[in-house]
Amino acid sequence: MFESLSQKLGNVFGKLRGKGSLSENDVMAVSREIRVALLEADVALPVVKEFIESIKAKAIGQNVIKGINPGQQVIKIVHDALVEMLGSTTQDLRFGAPPSAYLMVGLQGSGKTTSTAKIAKLLSEKHAKKVLMASLDVYRPAAQEQLKQLGEQTGIATLSIIEGQKPLEITQRALETARKEGYDVVMLDTAGRLSIDTELMAEVSAIQKMAKPVETILVADAMTGQDAVNTAKAFDEQVGLTGIMLTRVDGDARGGAAMSMKAVTGKPIKLLGMGEKWSEIETFHPERIAGRILGMGDIVSLVERAAETVNTQDAMKMAEKFKKGQFDFNDLLAQMQQMQKMGGMGAMMKMLPGLSGMASQIEAAGLDDSILKRQEAIISSMTLHERENPDTLNASRKKRIAAGSGTSVQDVNKLYKQLQQMQTMMKRMKKMGAGKMMGMMKNMMGGKADELELMAKSMDPDGLGADMAGLGDMSSGLGPNPFAGKGNPFGGKADLASLLSKGKK
Amino acid sequence: MVFWRKKNNASEQEREEREDKIIHHPREPALEVSTENDSPSEKEPSFETEADILDDLESSPVPHHRPLEDAKEAEELSDHSEEGGWLSRLTKGLSKSTGRISSGIGDLLTKAKLDQDALDRLEEVLIEADLGPKTAAKVIEQFAQGRFGKDIDEQEIREALAETIAAILQPVARPLVIKKPENGPMVILVCGVNGAGKTTTIGKLAHSYKFGPENHIAPQSVMIAAGDTFRAAAVEQLEIWAKRTGSPLVKKDIGADAASVAFEASARARKEGTDILLIDTAGRLQNKANLMEELGKIVRVLKKQDESQPHEVLLVLDSTTGQNAFSQVEIFKEMVNVTGLIVTKLDGSAKGGVLVGLADQFGLPVYAIGVGEAVEDMQPFNAKEYARSLLGLGH
Ligand SMILES: Nc1nc2c(ncn2[C@@H]2O[C@H](COP(=O)(O)OP(=O)(O)OP(=O)(O)O)[C@@H](O)[C@H]2O)c(=O)[nH]1
Ligand SMILES: [Mg+2]
């Protein structure tokens, strides 16, 4: 549904390749894309404005890194700033002298009760704490019953329910019980309340004063919109939050609320709710949420890896060869090795949202790394002369190569065909003019960032369906050829197709 | 520019592209990037200018509806004698947060002409109400037409913007019409994401149908089915609502097949001659295919009772939800053919502005809104009053 930010920035920066440094105009042009992306991810407007200003300050004047397009570079700046803002270190839950009280607060329906049980289970399993849970929700029908049942399911003790007791009375009883019976932690699950409900906000404040919790956690839904700032601010003012738990992160919301709440309260996001089961709780990873807010998964670490492994000189040399239509087995080998340096296909897939689930399908299609290995072996079994002159491969040579690499003649033929395909591609591209071709070369050899952009197009977390469709093409249309496939990270065929169609016009 | 409904001759993609272009302010710097290093051969088609885009929009086909016109017509036709009352709750809830809106608009007073600055600030007011950047830009665009550069005072600005928004919402402000089939109950299936307010809404619906004055219908007999067989104490919660409203409850043990609960409830309601059957379901996130499939199964099973069932499928939306509401409506609609929305928690500080974009994109009726946790805290959705409240205007 949302176009990925990297794609948008790619468009903005389409003409910028090869420029020295990011100018104010460049950065202004992207900043509006970033603004829209953040707003679509539900980051609150005041937070967006502030953030954009800081990005401008950081990005203007930066030198453009060779081999990476400026759009990707700005994304990296944005991403890093986002991670920094979200809190780059994980914040652990704290404990005081037992019993430590944990107070859970939030709006109606934000997931407090489930989260209470999840944290209790986490504390008892991972931290070996003896935990007591108490529901102070006397308003919502069967709320106390719900916590009781969760206690039974998880094996965590719950405070007995006494009909007619008020939240403050229950609090007192919970604290006493915890003290007497030697609990390490007592978790207080409060009723959901609106931040503008002065009466109920005063109530939760009184509970806080009585319980003196070591952790006061705001439970907030990852789908929350602009109101996240009002809610977080109001609760923080009333009860002094120590942390935030973001729920329903297993949904497809972009989760900008996380950034809004962190920005207005300065309180860390400590935990993520990842499902309805009590075991589905995770510590907060800023990279993950940052990538999500930007709609691009963990693309940044991929860019980083590309920057590390790609030697720009090599890429240029390769491009030169392409230009002359000379693409031989040596070049193919170099390309394969580069891909493996980046962790192989599996690693790349896993880093990208929407593709992580495709690993099995990739295997089914025979597109795994073992193919790369096999093809590498085939090339290694060729003489230098054969590598540089693919046309000399005759039947007897092929037989020898197959035997030497432990493959079949069929495999050798496939690889040969693959090379021919690439050569044809080169020749077609030659007609399109040098400039475009250089861009294309960069796509194929050096500028990993550009391929990532391509990948990102089919990889928006919101567009899982499209990803799968893309895979269909990849596996059926072109055979087990990791270099010529459509939607293939290193073939750039999709880009080629669009370039070709433009060329025809 | 006008709000257009889905058209068969304009593909989704085209539409999105166009929308995308107008979200950028004319004031923003032009897309001028250096071409110093480009070789002549790599000239690409130049970027469309803002003017091109607007021209494009002008020539877009005439929409089926012109909401502004629709609204005026509806306004003339509608009966105002019953209005008032429900709004006080909503306005009370909104008043806190409208303080900021009012002051934002108040600043406009000093400017006699409606200029870009003023429009920008109005747009920000809408964004902060969760309209989303694209919808906010569209609304402002529509609003500015014929007004830009004109002398206009604060009151006029507010009134006019409220009218623009009301016009978009008017077509979806339709009540749920109760129509019991001859040979069985009218079946209403209630679904939505976790914690949206489904169960509470069922309690409120049961109350209003049984005691009906607000809907101007004769009291109906209501049965409730506990289709949430997953969440802890979900059945107990619904049981309390059933008692409060004096409605019989069909339930099974936790872990039972939700579809079988629905099936049995439908059979029992037919046998007992019940007018309305309300079916609760477990909360589910729309991206969980297996859970969505389970919802689909409930519908299929109901159709075995009677092809016309369920007669209504309500999607309950929490007004604190931001842009994810689009995904919710889209996927639930696709899976179980949602027939209408109920928007809850409008008594809070969230304004649920995403409704404006939803109305434009999906056109699903907003049957009612939730404004509190008690049985009587449900009200019809009134486009005009909602739009005015959004802008801090009284009624
Ligand atoms: N303030 C306010 N609270 C509401 C409204 N509607 C529901 N709630 C509250 O929201 C919380 C969740 O409501 P439920 O009806 O349990 O929601 P649900 O969708 O059935 O939740 P699950 O079954 O757990 O997915 C409860 O505390 C309700 O009292 C409303 O209109 N206003
Ligand atoms: Mg429920």
Distance from CA of A32 to the nearest CA of B (A): 7
Residues A118 and A23 grouped into a single domain: no
Residues of A in Cβ contact (< 8 Å) with B194: 109, 111, 248, 276
The CA distance from B24 to B48, in Å, is 12
**Averaging pLDDT over each range in A1-10, A429-438, B187-196, which range is the top one?**
B187-196
- Does residue A94 sit within a domain? no
The verdict on a CB contact (< 8 Å) between A224 and B28 is: no
- Output the pLDDT for position B113: 76
Peptide bond preceding B181 in cis form (omega within 30 of 0): no
Task: Please report which helix (H) or strand (E) contains residue A320, including its range.
Answer: helix A312-323
Atom 30 (ligand 1) nearest CA: B345
Boundary (domain end) residue, out of A284, A302, A322: A284
The CA distance from B290 to B293, in Å, is 5
Ligand 1 contact, B198 CB (< 6 A): yes
Q: CB of A138 within 8 A of CB of A165?
A: yes
Angle (nearest 5°) at CA B124 between B121 and B129: 135
- Answer yes or no: is pLDDT of A370 > 90: no
At the topology level of CATH, where does B186-383 sit? Rossmann fold (3.40.50)
Atom of ligand 1 lying closest to residue B204 CA = 6
- Quote the tokens at residue A446: 């050096």
Q: How confident is the model at residue A380 (pLDDT cuts 50, 70, 90)?
A: confident
- Output the pLDDT for position A136: 97
The CA distance from B316 to B164, in Å, is 25
Question: How confident is the model over A127-145, as pLDDT tens digits?
Answer: 999 999 999 999 999 999 9
Question: How confident is the model over A299-341, as pLDDT tens digits?
Answer: 444 554 555 555 555 656 666 666 666 778 887 787 777 666 6
- Output the pLDDT for position A158: 97
Amino acid at A288: R
- Does residue A93 sit within a domain? no
CA atoms within 13 A on the CB side of B233: 18
- Output the pLDDT for position B3: 34
Peptide bond preceding B310 in cis form (omega within 30 of 0): yes
Q: Which of A195-209, A418-432, B318-332 has the lowest mean pLDDT?
A: A418-432
Mean pLDDT of A96-117: 96
- Structurally, chain A folds into a number of domains equal to 3
Residues A334 and A389 grouped into a single domain: yes
Distance from CA of B35 to the nearest CA of A (A): 7
Boundary (domain end) residue, out of A86, A117, A151: A86
Residue B340's DSSP bridge partners are: B314
Q: How confident is the model at residue A92 (pLDDT cuts 50, 70, 90)?
A: confident
Q: CB of B247 within 8 A of CB of B236?
A: no
- Answer yes or no: is pLDDT of A440 > 50: no
Where are the domains positioned within chain B? 1-29+49-54+64-73+84-172, 186-383
Q: How confident is the model at residue A23 (pLDDT cuts 50, 70, 90)?
A: confident
- Does residue A142 sit within a domain? yes
More confident residue, B50 or B355: B355
Distance from CA of A477 to the nearest CA of B (A): 25
Residues A234 and A342 grouped into a single domain: no
Residues A77 and A105 grouped into a single domain: no
Q: Does A403 touch chain B (CB under 8 A)?
A: no
**Helices A369-380 + A395-405 axis angle, to 10:** 120
Domain that holds residue A44: 5-86
Q: Which of A243-257, A477-491, B91-105, B294-308 has the lowest mean pLDDT?
A: A477-491
The verdict on a CB contact (< 8 Å) between A23 and B129 is: no
Percent over 70 (pLDDT), chain A: 66
- Does residue A298 sit within a domain? no
Residue A104's DSSP bridge partners are: A189, A217
Residues A189 and A158 grouped into a single domain: yes
- Answer yes or no: is pLDDT of A437 > 60: no
Q: Which of A11, A194, A280 to mutate to test the interface with B (most CBs of B within 10 A)?
A: A194
Question: How confident is the model over B150-184, as pLDDT tens digits?
Answer: 887 777 888 889 999 999 999 999 999 888 898 89
Residues A392 and A469 grouped into a single domain: yes
Q: Which of A153, A226, A230, A504 to mutate to test the interface with B (most CBs of B within 10 A)?
A: A226
**Averaging pLDDT over each range in A98-112, A321-335, B92-106, which range is the top one?**
A98-112
The CA distance from A99 to A79, in Å, is 40
Ligand 1 contact, B345 CB (< 6 A): yes
Query: Ligand 2 centroid to A461 CA: how many Å?
Result: 28
Amino acid at A375: Q
3-state DSSP assignment of residue A217: strand
CATH number for the domain spanning A472: value is 1.10.260.30
Residues A221 and A131 grouped into a single domain: yes
**Tokens 């087995």 sit at which residue?**
A329
Mean pLDDT of A27-49: 89
ipTM rounded to 2 decimals: 0.74
Boundary (domain end) residue, out of A44, A64, A86: A86
Residues A214 and A243 grouped into a single domain: yes
Query: Ligand 1 centroid to B334 CA: how many Å?
Result: 24
Residues A212 and A160 grouped into a single domain: yes
Q: How confident is the model at residue A278 (pLDDT cuts 50, 70, 90)?
A: confident
Task: Please report which helix (H) or strand (E) contains residue B277, including its range.
Answer: strand B276-281
Amino acid at B115: D
Residues A134 and A170 grouped into a single domain: yes
Question: How confident is the model over B101-119, as pLDDT tens digits?
Answer: 444 444 444 445 788 888 8
Q: Which of A107, A108, A231 has most ligand 1 atoms within 8 Å of CB, for mutation?
A: A108
Q: CB of A389 within 8 A of CB of A456?
A: no
Angle (nearest 5°) at CA A262 between A222 and A193: 60
Atom of ligand 1 lying closest to residue B344 CA = 31
The CA distance from B75 to B77, in Å, is 5
The CA distance from A423 to A10, in Å, is 27
DSSP assignments along A37-80, one per residue = HHHHTT--HHHHHHHHHHHHHHHTTPBPPTTS-HHHHHHHHHHH
Q: How confident is the model at residue A61 (pLDDT cuts 50, 70, 90)?
A: confident
Ligand 1 contact, A182 CB (< 6 A): no
Residues of A in Cβ contact (< 8 Å) with B232: 113, 145-147, 149-150, 153
- Output the pLDDT for position B234: 96
Q: Does A107 touch chain B (CB under 8 A)?
A: yes
- Output the pLDDT for position B228: 96
Ligand 1 contact, A213 CB (< 6 A): no
pTM more than 0.95: no
CATH number for the domain spanning A244: value is 3.40.50.300
What are the counts of helices (DSSP H) followed by strands (DSSP E) for chain B?
Answer: 14, 8
Residues of A in Cβ contact (< 8 Å) with B93: 194, 196
More confident residue, B189 or A391: B189
- Answer yes or no: is pLDDT of A479 > 70: no
Residues A234 and A143 grouped into a single domain: yes
The CA distance from A451 to A486, in Å, is 12
Atom 9 (ligand 1) nearest CA: A108
- Quote the tokens at residue B143: 């609003």
Q: Does A235 touch chain B (CB under 8 A)?
A: no
Residues A207 and A255 grouped into a single domain: yes
The CA distance from A344 to A338, in Å, is 9
Residue of A339, A326, A320, A319 lying closest to A390 (CA atoms): A326
